[in-house]
Structure 1
Amino acid sequence: MKHLLNLLAAVALLVWGTYLVRTGILRVFGANLRQVLARSISTRPAAGLAGFGVTALVQSSTATALIVSAFVGQGVVSLPTALAMMLGADVGSSMMAVVFSFDLSWLSPLFIFVGVVLFITRQSTPLGRFGRVLIGLGLMLLALRLVSESTAIMVRSPAVKALLQSLYSDILLEITVGALMAVVAYSSLAIVLLTATLAASGGIPLDVALGLTIGANLGSGLLGVLATAKSAVPVRQVPIGNLVFKCFGVVLAAPFVGYWVTYLRPAVPDHATAVVLYHLAFNVLIAILFIGFTQYVARWVGQWLPKPDRNPVTGRPHHLDPSALETPSLAISNAAREALHQADVVESMLLGMLRVIKENDLRLAEELRRMDDTVDQLYSAIKYYLTKISREALGEEESRRWTDIISFTINMEQIGDIIERILLDIEEKKIRKNRSFSDAGMAEICELHARLVDNLRLGMSVFLNASVRDAQKLLEEKARFRDLERAYAGTHLTRLTENTAQSIETSSLHLDLISDLKRINSHICSIAYPILDSAGALAPSRLKPVLPEQPSRVL
């Protein structure tokens, strides 16, 4: 029992080390990795090489699958190109298995020591995050040595020998067990390394190890499908397409395991090397055979899992992919896109509001008020999504973006509430009482509304691009809008003194309306403050310095 616990602990340590390396690399290089993948879309071979390079660094084809799937969901990468990237990613993962198959246990103490020092002393910096990667690498190397030692003891047990013999010559059982192990461990790389170590120590025969390796490859494809099961349809298409390639590879490779053992094993120095080289050969052959067929597989996947028609004002979040949370930079990007979706709903409400004022459309007013519930739902979803992103994993720029998104969504939610109250006032004080604004008053409202729509669109651009020039322009619009609101309030009072009947009937509503429009504009212009503040373009205060009071002279 003690030796079994030692083995299970070593396997857990191997899985944990793999996790530390994967998440650490994504936290250090997440934004750069996204840029590399996004730019490598000119040809399928280039996409495959990009997937190979990123996965060799991240040491997880599943992590690459999640990043690439998010790109497809955002429309940055086409599905055939994404599938080519995944073929390269699988080769990159198998190459790392070859590297780890060498005896590098002497590096384990060095990596752990340096990693812990860096992580503790510089925890919130990129150097500290790189220390986390070194800790993971050290734990992986240590775990492989512990697995080898524990296995060498356990294989002497008669019960263990009987269990291992049950796998012998049953390729389907071996593939199934390998796939399940990869899914449970959340890492095909860890399972391949474990299998190679078991084979090297004599724990399992070579042909069983090769069957488990095929199953681990199938399990890595299943992992991507399971990780994106709750994501949008475009995101789920990439793992499904990659799983199709895996299935074809299993069908082609399984019948020829015996040939590898018989004819190629003599040329390989040991069983561990034979396993990792087989793993590499498996993925290289799949990449070579199927990279020319990605467009056909993409077409099949599109037919099996078609994209639904998307309503731009639906309340369901479009971009909050939970599988992207392990890559903070990608999750921040998803939250920003969902915030723009929320702003689109607010814009639809703002445009419809003028129609209600002009046409007295009660049905449209009710629909627009229901859309405020959509705005509130999106605000809650974005806020909850952002709270699940590890703040420790965010750099300075990403932390600032995190705050900007929260501020933007709060402003959009408050604008939606103001529009809802305006619609209720219009229904109660204008439509149901059959009143109307004077021609001059309606013209003023239309002018303010047009400026408001333009400012909202400018605010969305400022939020998206962080342009200091546009932010300054938006803040200038705040002063112009305030002056217009004061001027139009004055002209309305002039019409009251002239006893204009329509102005008298709608006086309270008119003044409240232009005041509410100014409040909406203030929320829109608030988008500019974080951009200008980070650029150092904000003055400390708009107040003029007050002269100190002079002491009164007593006569």
Structure 2
Amino acid sequence: MLTLLDLLSAVALLIWGTHIVRTGILRVYGSQLRRVLGHNVARRPLAFLAGILVTALVQSSNATAMLVTSFVGQGLMRLAPALAIMLGADVGTALMSRVLTFDLSWLSPLLIFLGVIFFLSRKQTRAGQLGRVAIGLGLIILALQLIVSAAAPITQASGVKVLFASLTGDFLLDALVGALFALISYSSLAAVLLTATLAGSDIISLHVAIGLVVGANIGSGLLAFMSTSMQNVPGRQVALGSLLFKLLGLVLIIPVLDPLVNWLDELRLKPQELVIGFHLVYNIARCLLMLPFVSPMARLCASLLQVPAETAGPIKPRHLDLTALATPSLALANAVRETLRMGDLLENMLGAMQAVLHGTQTAVTQQVRSLNEDVETLYSGIKLYLAQMPREDLGEQDNRRWAEIIELTINLELASGVIERMLRKIQQQKTAQQRSFSDVGLEELTDLHTQLQANLRLGLSVFLSGDPHSARQLLKEKRQFRALERRLAHAHVNRLQRKVVQSIETSSLHLELMADMKRLNSLFCSSAYAVLETADTGALSSDGPDETPGQVGEQSV
């Protein structure tokens, strides 16, 4: 019983070490890995190599699957290139399994020792996260050693020998057992290592070992498919395609199984080396053979898992993937995309305001009210999504981005309410009081409205890119808007002095709308301060002594 417990704890340590490496790499290099995957999908060979590279770094094909399925689910990547990346991920995990089977016993204590020092002394820095990665690598190497040592006495037990003796070479049964190994251990690597140990102890034949290895690959595909259960349909299509490719590999190897086993027996290598070598060669050959067929597989998966037709109704968050919360950089990217959707809704509301001002839309329609409700829905979704991310585990850059997203979503939600109130004021003026703006007054409000729309677009661009030059331009546009607002306010007062009747009748509303537009402009331009506070440019001082970032916060409250 104690020996079995040692084996289970070693497998658990392997899973934990892989998790630490994956999360550490994604926290430090998550955005770079997203660019590698996102920019190398035009050609299948490049997508294939990108899958190998990313999987080798994060030590897990499941982590690569999570990234890819999230991209496909958000519409950032087509299904066929995603399947090419998944084939590369299978090769990447096979390569790392071969590397980790070398004698690296000296490396494990060194990595753990140095990793603990860096992680505890610089936890919130990049060096601290790389120390976390080193701890994970050390634990993986240690766990592999423990698996081999713990499995050795178990394989000598009479009950275990009888159990595995029942595997007489029925390939499909062997593959099923191998898939169960991978599912139970939550790692195809652990299943392959156990198979190699059993083959080295002469508990199972090489024929049975090959069946277990092929089944372990299928088990990893099942794990990936089950882990995408919370994804939308496009995301699940990726995992389904990867699983079908692995099942096709099983079908294709059956006709050549006996000649292959005979040829491997003639190599006179150790059984462990034959099992590990077969695992690597099998995955490379299978993936290269199936790479040209990713487009037909994509069409098959799209037909098997069809995207349901969208029904009319309230808008819902589209990019807030709960499975990505374990990867802060990816989760923050999802929140950014949802925030940009809020910006699109705000732009639609501003378009409705222009229609009301010019009389082409005489009332605040249900569509405008629905837009405001949609903004509030997205705001609540983003807020709750980010609240599930433990900020103490975020790095400095991710912490800053987290705060930027929260600040902008708050400002956009406030702006939505301001716009709806402005539209109600205009409606009341035109319908209840039967009054309209003078031609000059309407032109002034239109000029401010046009500038306001441009600043909203520029503010969202600054938020997305973090470009200091664009941020300085946004603050320049903000100052120009304020100057325009003051000049137009003085012009309105001059018309009052000339006793222009329409100006007198709509004076209160005119000035209130200008003040509301000024507040909206401050909300839209607030993203510039977050960029310039972190950029070593001294650009904030150029905004003038009469305005600081704190004033924007006061106006936003």
| Amino acid across the alignment from 1:230 | M
Distance 2:64 2:312 in 1: 29
- Write out aligned runs for 1:12-51 (5 A): 12-41=12-41, 43-51=43-51
Are positions 1:270 and 2:254 aligned together?
no
Output one character per residue of 1:295-349: Cα deviation in whole Å (capped at 9) or x when no partner: 2222333344456778999722232333333443333322222211110011111
Unaligned segments of structure 1, at least 5 residues: 545-555
Q: Secondary structure at the match of 1:539?
A: helix
| Amino acid across the alignment from 1:381 | G
For 1:160, the equivalent position in structure 2 comes to 160
Distance 2:103 2:73 in 1: 41
Say whether the 8 Å CA contact 2:21–2:136 is kept in structure 1: yes
Q: Secondary structure at the match of 1:230?
A: coil
CA shift in 2, pair 1:505/1:190, >3 Å:
farther
For 1:56, the equivalent position in structure 2 comes to 56
Distance 1:451 1:163 in 2: 77
TM-superposed CA distance for 1:243, in Å, is: 1.9
- Mean Cα deviation higher: 13-22 or 162-171: 162-171
Structure 2 length-normalised TM? 0.88
TM-superposed CA distance for 1:353, in Å, is: 1.8
Q: Secondary structure at the match of 1:101?
A: coil
Distance 1:87 1:276 in 2: 19
2:541 equivalent among 539, 542, 545: 539
Output one character per residue of 1:360-410: Cα deviation in whole Å (capped at 9) or x when no partner: 746653211221121122122223333444545654444333322222222
- Write out aligned runs for 1:139-538 (5 A): 139-202=139-202, 204-254=204-254, 256-305=256-305, 315-359=315-359, 361=361, 364-389=364-389, 391=391, 394-535=394-535, 536-538=538-540
Distance 1:365 1:173 in 2: 65
Say whether the 8 Å CA contact 1:144–1:197 is kept in structure 2: no
Distance 2:371 2:177 in 1: 50
Distance 1:122 1:197 in 2: 39
For 1:552, the equivalent position in structure 2 comes to none
Say whether the 8 Å CA contact 1:315–1:377 is kept in structure 2: yes
For 1:547, the equivalent position in structure 2 comes to none
Say whether the 8 Å CA contact 2:165–2:203 is kept in structure 1: no
| Amino acid across the alignment from 1:417 | G
For 1:85, the equivalent position in structure 2 comes to 85
Distance 2:391 2:167 in 1: 46
TM-superposed CA distance for 1:446, in Å, is: 1.4
TM-superposed CA distance for 1:73, in Å, is: 4.6
CA shift in 2, pair 1:106/1:543, >3 Å:
closer
- Mean Cα deviation higher: 349-358 or 430-439: 430-439
Distance 1:178 1:435 in 2: 79
CA shift in 2, pair 1:310/1:268, >3 Å:
farther
For 2:549, the equivalent position in structure 1 comes to none
Distance 2:314 2:188 in 1: 38
Q: Secondary structure at the match of 1:320?
A: coil
Say whether the 8 Å CA contact 1:101–1:272 is kept in structure 2: no
Q: Secondary structure at the match of 2:358?
A: helix
Q: Secondary structure at the match of 2:541?
A: coil
| Amino acid across the alignment from 2:103 | D
| Amino acid across the alignment from 1:382 | I
- Mean Cα deviation higher: 491-500 or 261-270: 491-500
CA shift in 2, pair 1:155/1:466, >3 Å:
closer
CA shift in 2, pair 1:481/1:134, >3 Å:
closer
- Mean Cα deviation higher: 373-382 or 496-505: 496-505
Distance 2:348 2:518 in 1: 18
Q: Secondary structure at the match of 1:315?
A: coil
- Mean Cα deviation higher: 473-482 or 516-525: 473-482
Structure 1 length-normalised TM? 0.88
Say whether the 8 Å CA contact 1:214–1:254 is kept in structure 2: no
Say whether the 8 Å CA contact 1:175–1:213 is kept in structure 2: yes
Q: Secondary structure at the match of 2:319?
A: coil
Say whether the 8 Å CA contact 2:475–2:543 is kept in structure 1: no
Distance 2:194 2:392 in 1: 31
For 1:551, the equivalent position in structure 2 comes to none
Q: Secondary structure at the match of 1:436?
A: coil
Say whether the 8 Å CA contact 2:148–2:193 is kept in structure 1: no
Distance 1:435 1:185 in 2: 74
Count of equivalent residues = 544
| Amino acid across the alignment from 1:107 | L
| Amino acid across the alignment from 1:538 | L
TM-superposed CA distance for 1:411, in Å, is: 1.5
Say whether the 8 Å CA contact 1:313–1:345 is kept in structure 2: no
CA shift in 2, pair 1:182/1:388, >3 Å:
farther
CA shift in 2, pair 1:437/1:542, >3 Å:
same
- Mean Cα deviation higher: 394-403 or 442-451: 394-403
TM-superposed CA distance for 1:68, in Å, is: 3.0
| Amino acid across the alignment from 2:210 | L
Say whether the 8 Å CA contact 1:339–1:409 is kept in structure 2: yes
Distance 2:378 2:21 in 1: 34
Distance 1:380 1:180 in 2: 41
Distance 1:503 1:192 in 2: 82
Distance 2:429 2:203 in 1: 83
Say whether the 8 Å CA contact 2:435–2:506 is kept in structure 1: yes
CA shift in 2, pair 1:522/1:312, >3 Å:
farther
Q: Percent identity?
A: 49
CA shift in 2, pair 1:108/1:487, >3 Å:
closer
For 2:118, the equivalent position in structure 1 comes to 118
Output one character per residue of 1:452-477: Cα deviation in whole Å (capped at 9) or x when no partner: 11111121222222232322222122
Unaligned segments of structure 2, at least 5 residues: 547-557
